[in-house]
Structure formats: structure tokens, C-alpha cells
A = this chain, B = another copy of it.
Amino acid sequence: MKLKHAILAASVALLTPVMAHAQDAEEAVEAFDAAASLAALATEQAFVFNTLLFIISGILVFWMAAGFAMLEAGFVRSKNVTMQLTKNMGLFAIAGFMYYIIGFNLMYPGDGWIFEGWFGAISPTVLEAVDVTIDEVDDAEYASVGSDFFFQLMFCATTASIVSGALAERIKLGSFLVFVVVLTGLIYPIQASWTWGEGWLDEMGFADFAGSTIVHSVGGWAALTGAIILGARKGKYGPDGKVNPIPGSNLALATLGVFILWMGWFGFNGGSELAMGTADAVANVARVMANTNAAAGGGVIAALILTKLMYGKSDLTLMLNGALGGLVAITAEPLEPGLGLATIIGAIGGIIVVVTVPLLDKLKIDDVVGAVPVHLFAGIWGTLAVVLSNGDANIGTQIVGILAIGAFAIVTSAIVWFIIKAAMGIRVSEEAEMTGLDKVELGMEAYPDFGRG
């Protein structure tokens, strides 16, 4: 923006002598118009760049939906893969619809708050008209509404993807999808409006660059609440307190899922810079990319070494979740840290995952893919870690944000889960769980040609 102002100022300066010689007022006006045109060009170019950033980033975050689908399909048993894929495809479609119908304006009400700073506007999303000009757009200093909607929609869907993994292998398809309707239409957008819609948490100065808390922890809280209400899979916890590991059926798919998520995260964090039309903005985006990558790598290395030390063998599934833990941790502030600090923040995210996965098992909370350690615990860490590099952030405010959003997510999720449980049931039959959800619930196996080991 600085450049644009400089151009405008300089252009006016240029015109001063010209105008001194202008023979009449009309000429003076024309001359002033000309000076404005350079500034106008700069403005329009920035608008194009920013919109492009949202488009590219939106596509990348869309891709994360595929990443979650592959990760989860790889981490469940082969008898439940079709169900997991069905949930992931279904949740993404529902998230898009709900965010269009209600979520986007609830999250970004502008001047349309129903309760100022707490509850936004209720209306479906309307995009800018076809062929809108720079003079007609909603915000010429920002980006097109369509691109903003497209980008933000993907964040909303991510929240739902997080939940589906934790509750795999025992929740009913319909019950899960009804929860997604509420999560993506109400729970996510309402709390997101508090910060990103310029609501009360934003006023307080809560800092969460791309959503360690607002996206990941919210998904994590909803997943945790659901996992407790739903109960563990049959056979996961023995009567003697023994934890029976239930290995995932396809680690190649799970690894692919993590690579996809890692890739998509460049859009998740990079797009959250919200601008790239000037040198400072685009250099910031680049910083975010480098730091995001460093943190993911830190998470992998930490898990690689720590599992070797703890168990004598490096553990791929924890390395995969370590990468995700590192990514979640850096998400609250991927801009300010240097590469070294980013690596450390990510590594601690990875360590948190390795340490808390067995912890959940001790509490007999059955989180099939490790969504709670990755998205909730590493998300809390990342939100606190903002103060390590961002001088504007305040540890007290960060804690307030974590607690307020957490309380809201827990309470609303629990209410919805209980209503669903009472109204339509939440858990598949024991027979379906034993035989496999694919055969019993869906009548369609994911790998019908392959014998069971």
C-alpha cells in the first residue's frame, strides 16, 4: 500500500507544474485524472494478485480434504475404508453447502452483526456480479468476494475433516453427517467470527494467523467430545486395562495423505497472509511457506528420534502425525519466527503428539487417527507459542482465546452429539462393527479382490 500512496503523492507533485500552466479548469481535472491512473493501476494489480493468492490457496486447502480422506482411509481397517471415504466425500460437500447457505456471512458479518462481536449475519452468500469492475468491488484494497469465499470455505471443511478421523470405525454415517451440518453451518463460523470476523476476540488482540485454535483446536474439541460420548471401538481396550493396537490397513495411503496435507498447508498458512500484491506482502507469504515447511520437518525429525529413543524403533505413524503436529503448531504464527524457531515450534508439536497419543489411550479415549493430539494439543501449543515471536501477542489473551473457543466448542458439540444420540442413535450395531461398516452399513467393500491376512 505504501508504494501506491507514494505513486499518488509523486503524481500529484508531477502535476503541480503542469497545472500551473493549464489553460483552464477542465485541463486541470484531466491532468489530475491522469495522475490517478498510475495509482489506479497499482491498486488493480494488487487486487488481482490478492485474488489470485486466494484462488491458489483455496485450491491447495481443498486438496487437504483429499489428504484427510487418504490419511483416514489408510489408518482404519480395510473393512471400514469405504465408510471412511464416504464420510470424507460427504462432509466436504455438506461443508461447502452450509458455508454458502449460512456460514460465510455468519463468520464475516461486516456491519451486519446480530449481536455485535458475538453473532454475525444470517444470509446466504452472494458473490460480486459477473464482470465487476475495480470501482464496483466490495473492497478494492482486498480481493474479490468469490475468491475470499472460496478460500474460507475450505477452512470450514477442514474442521469437519478433523472430526471424521477421530470417530472412525464405529459412528453411523447419518449421525456423523448431521453433526457436520451443525459444525460447518454454526459452530465453526460463529467462533471464527469472534477473531477473523473482527468480533470480540479480535478486539482483545487474540492472535491466530491461520487457525491453530480457530480451525484445528475447534475440530479437535469436537472430535474429543464426540469420541468420549461415542465410546471406544470394541476390543480396543481390554478389561484388564490393556490397550490393543489396531493397525491401519494401508500406510502408503496414510503417507500420501500426509504429503497431501503438507502441500495443502502451504495454501492454508500462505493464503492467510491475505495479500501478495506488494513486495512486503509477497515476501511475507514466502516467509510463511519456508517456516511452514521447517515446522513440518521439525515435527518429523522429533518423532523419528523420540520414538527411536522411547520404543527402540522409529514409528512411521507417529512421524506422519509428527509432521501434522508440527504443521498445526506453526499455524498460529507462521510469519514472525525465523527458520530456527519455526523448526523448534514444529519439533515441540511433534513431541506433543508422540507423548499424548498413549496418554489418550490411558484415558480410554479412542481417537482412531490421532486427531486430538495433532489438532487439539499441538494447536494449543502453537497458539501459546505465538508470543515467542509476535511482539503484539499477549499470553493472557492467547489463553483467553484458547479457553473461550474451547468452552464454546465443547459445549455446543456436546449438546449436538447428545441430541443426535437421542434422536437417531450415534453408534453402529455391534455386528456392523465386527463384520465391518462397509459390508453391513454400506454393502460395498473397498478392496473386494484382496484376501484378509
A279 with B85: CB separation less than 8 A: no
B279 with A47: CB separation less than 8 A: yes
A70 with B256: CB separation less than 8 A: yes
**B residues within 8 A CB of A304?**
90, 93, 177
**B residues within 8 A CB of A3?**
40-41, 44, 134
B252 with A85: CB separation less than 8 A: yes
Interface of chain A residues 61 through 109 with chain B (CB within 8 A)? 62-63, 65-66, 69-70, 73-74, 77-79, 81-82, 85-86, 88-90, 92-94, 96-97, 100
B62 with A293: CB separation less than 8 A: yes
Is A213 part of the contact surface with B, judged by Cβ < 8 Å?
Answer: no
- Supposing A279-B48, A313-B443 touch, asked if A127 and B339 sit within 8 A by C-beta, the answer is yes
> In the complex, A252→B73 CA distance in Å?
7
Is A115 part of the contact surface with B, judged by Cβ < 8 Å?
Answer: no
Contact of A31 among B17, B130, B281 (CB under 8 A): B17
Please tell me which stretch of A52-60, A403-411, A412-420 contacts chain B, meaning at least 4 of its Cβ atoms lie within 8 angstroms of it: A52-60
Contact of A313 among B89, B320, B442 (CB under 8 A): B442
Residue of B nearest to A308 (CB): B174
Residues 256-293 of chain A, each 1 if its beta carbon lies under 8 Å from chain B, else 0: 10111011001000100000111111111111011001
A40 with B7: CB separation less than 8 A: yes
Is A314 part of the contact surface with B, judged by Cβ < 8 Å?
Answer: yes
Is A168 part of the contact surface with B, judged by Cβ < 8 Å?
Answer: no
Residue of B nearest to A11 (CB): B34
Is A35 part of the contact surface with B, judged by Cβ < 8 Å?
Answer: yes
Distance (Å) between the CB of A158 and the closest chain B CB? 14
Please tell me which stretch of A20-28, A197-205, A363-371, A377-385 contacts chain B, meaning at least 4 of its Cβ atoms lie within 8 angstroms of it: A20-28
Distance (Å) between the CB of A203 and the closest chain B CB? 23
Is A247 part of the contact surface with B, judged by Cβ < 8 Å?
Answer: yes
A444 with B316: CB separation less than 8 A: yes
A284 with B130: CB separation less than 8 A: yes
**B residues within 8 A CB of A443?**
313
**B residues within 8 A CB of A283?**
51, 128, 132, 137, 144-147
A284 with B131: CB separation less than 8 A: yes
B448 with A451: CB separation less than 8 A: no
Residues 24-46 of chain A, each 1 if its beta carbon lies under 8 Å from chain B, else 0: 00010011011111101110110
**B residues within 8 A CB of A140?**
279
Contact of A81 among B69, B251, B276 (CB under 8 A): B251
Distance (Å) between the CB of A204 and the closest chain B CB? 22
Please tell me which stretch of A185-193, A294-302, A353-361 contacts chain B, meaning at least 4 of its Cβ atoms lie within 8 angstroms of it: A294-302
Can you name 8 A-B residue pairings with CB atoms under 8 Å? A3-B134, A51-B283, A92-B300, A97-B343, A128-B287, A130-B287, A249-B450, A316-B444
